[in-house]
Amino acid sequence: MALGFPLFRSAAMVVLSRRHRRRALAAALISDAVFPLAITGGTAAVPDVTAQLPGAPALGPWIVVAYNGMFAAALLLAGAVADRVARSRFFAAGTLVVATTGMLSALAPDLPTLVALRALAGVGAAMCASGGSSLVLAVYPPEDRRRVYGYAGAVLGSSLALGPVVGQALMAIGGWPLVFAVPGALAGLAALATVGLPGLRSPELPGRFDLAGAVLFGTLVAAVVTALGLGFGTGVPWWGPTGLVVLAAVAALGLVRVERRAPLPAIPLDLLRIPAYRAYAVATGALMGMLVVGLTALPQLGSSQGVGPAGTAVMLSLLTVPSTVLPLLASRLARRRARQLVTTGLFACAAAAGVLQVLSQPLVLLLAAGVCGLCLGLTEGVPDGQALAYVPSDRGGSGAALFSTARMSLETCTLAAATGMMTALGPASGLAVAGAVCLTAGLVVRRTVPRHEPCEPPEPREPGASRAPQGGGCQV
């Protein structure tokens, strides 16, 4: 997400009263709080859910993987639909999906049902993210949006930091069902906040959307995530992941062919030809992958070492709280040392994951969590801002949307691959996967991003200009 909301396009302004604008913003911010809580809370609940509900224990991690995977797969299509229908109604529909699946998840009779509900909740979350973005862009003028995105960033960071603690507290109060019911109730509040708002349908409908491209991209992400999560371990028939890999390859080939011919492609492939933009997308996906894998693997490693609930809460706080308190410092450091900041964070996360392959004592776990948390906090939002500095100013919306989709896709694939490894080899192997991704991303950034970067977006392209802008603006 770019500054809290994934920006899909510049919506036409709709004049509303201040009260209605505040209600629209409140609804979007409440839904922003639900997304990190749904991930971190669901992650914290996996051991208890797996132990208490009937079903194969290997399905436990899919409570998180299915949610993330369907969110990433549905994001592009949801964004296009949000711009073509009544924005407030579409957003409300997404929040109702999240609310309903949250309540039903609390009553799930078995693991397969819970995983299916979580997958549907991921689709609802994609509707909320895209609908909330389109809603806010439609009612707030450009001069107010930076402040609005600041609010969104604060809510997301706080929800992410407090998510593990809130999840543990909810389980202590009412067991794992509360972990799903409370985010569902919050989503219901977001839906109520939209009651009485106008539909906010754009008077000028966007051009024809590349539906085939969006569907093929969603199929590709879903197939890759499922194949990585299944792996080729014991008890998994070979034809399952193999068939999914073939499906992903077919979807990828079809996607490239469709996007090259589409007049308005769902995925602006020319932006991916910008080396630094591509490198920073990989970097932020790797960092978020380390976070979500750490939220799963570190408590499991702690449990094997006799770490109790209090110690687990401290460990998860070390991992997440820096993302709330350090972004302001990160933005200042990034003015002159963004490339070094990102590469150092990636390499340090990889090193911490490597240490945990040979040492797993409680003190080492706390230090590793602290190192990763510090790196995550000091790079929060930095790759996003640096990547968009390479995008022409007239394409900021599509650049942010593609960046968010790429980040979420890599994050989800990392989690799925780590899940497969943890099922076969234990929690430390999941951190090895996330560490390897961070190491690769660090090398990509170091090799690809120039030492002197643009601090402003390049000017809009002239007709007939190259489709692969190389950046512009001042140098730092």
φ, ψ for residue 2, nearest 5 deg: -100, 110
Domain range list for the chain: 1-209, 210-265, 270-459+467-476
Task: Name residue 140's amino acid.
Answer: Y
d(CA 268, CA 302): 43
End-to-end C-alpha distance for the chain, whole angstroms: 25
Amino acid at 225: V
Look at residue 464 and tell me whether its pLDDT is greater than 60. no
CA distance 273 to 278: 7
Q: Is 348 exposed, middle or buried (0-12, 13-18, 19+ CB in 10 A)?
A: middle
Interval 278-331: pLDDT, tens: 899 999 899 989 988 998 889 889 888 888 878 887 888 888 888 777 877 877
CATH homologous superfamily for the domain 270-459+467-476: MFS general substrate transporter like domains (1.20.1250.20)
- Which range is most confident: 162-166, 178-182, 269-273? 178-182
Q: Given pLDDT bands bounded at 50, 70 and 90, which one contains residue 233? A: low
Whole-angstrom distance, CA of residue 359 vs CA of residue 374: 20
| CATH class held by domain 1-209 | mainly alpha
Strand 454-456 relative to strand 472-475, pairing? antiparallel
SS3 455: strand
Dist. CA 471–CA 476, nearest whole Å: 13
Q: Using 50, 70 and 90 to split pLDDT, how confident is the model at 440?
A: very high
Q: Do the two domains 1-209 and 270-459+467-476 of this chain adopt the same fold?
A: yes
pLDDT at 371 over 70: yes
Q: How far is CA 29 from CA 40, 129, 135, 267, in A?
A: 18, 10, 11, 27
pTM, to two decimals: 0.69
